């Protein structure tokens, strides 16, 4: 009998393995640039998820982006990103994007 290891697959899914037909990009920014960059990524419209990490590679915030996330729903998230920007000096923004073929 072969051993089934669903936990490792679940672990990979939960730890941010990119979805099929997606890619990840990373941007190193200062605290002052975080909000501007997040707004820029959202405006581009092809991001599935934004992850903000500190300089120790710890996840500070994850922002899932779907078609339902617009306007008033997004405003509190941007306020939180702005507050986060005030307490971090350097961080990494990881963006999971849809591939052109995955549209």
Angle between helices 34-44 and 71-85 (to 10 degrees): 150
The pair of three-digit structure tokens given for residue 23, joined into one six-digit string: 């890619």
* pLDDT classification of 72: cutoffs 50, 70, 90: low
Element (H, E) at 38: helix 34-44
pTM of the model: 0.70
pLDDT tens, 32-59? 899 999 989 888 888 889 999 998 999 9
Give strand ranges (E) for 6-54: 22-30, 47-54
More confident residue, 92 or 12: 92
Higher pLDDT, 68 or 39: 39
Q: DSSP per residue over 69-80, as a string?
A: --HHHHHHHHHH
Q: Report whether pLDDT(102) > 90.
A: no
């Amino acid at each position: 009998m072969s051993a089934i290891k669903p936990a490792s697959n679940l672990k990979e899914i939960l730890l941010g393995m990119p979805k099929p037909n997606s890619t990840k990009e990373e941007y190193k920014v200062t605290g002052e640039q975080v909000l501007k960059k997040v707004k820029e990524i959202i405006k581009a419209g092809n991001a599935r998820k934004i992850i903000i990490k500190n300089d120790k590679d710890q996840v500070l915030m994850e922002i899932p982006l779907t078609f339902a996330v617009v306007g008033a729903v997004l405003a509190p998230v941007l306020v939180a990103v702005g507050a986060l920007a005030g307490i971090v000096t350097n961080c990494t923004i990881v963006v999971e994007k849809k591939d052109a073929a995955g549209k």
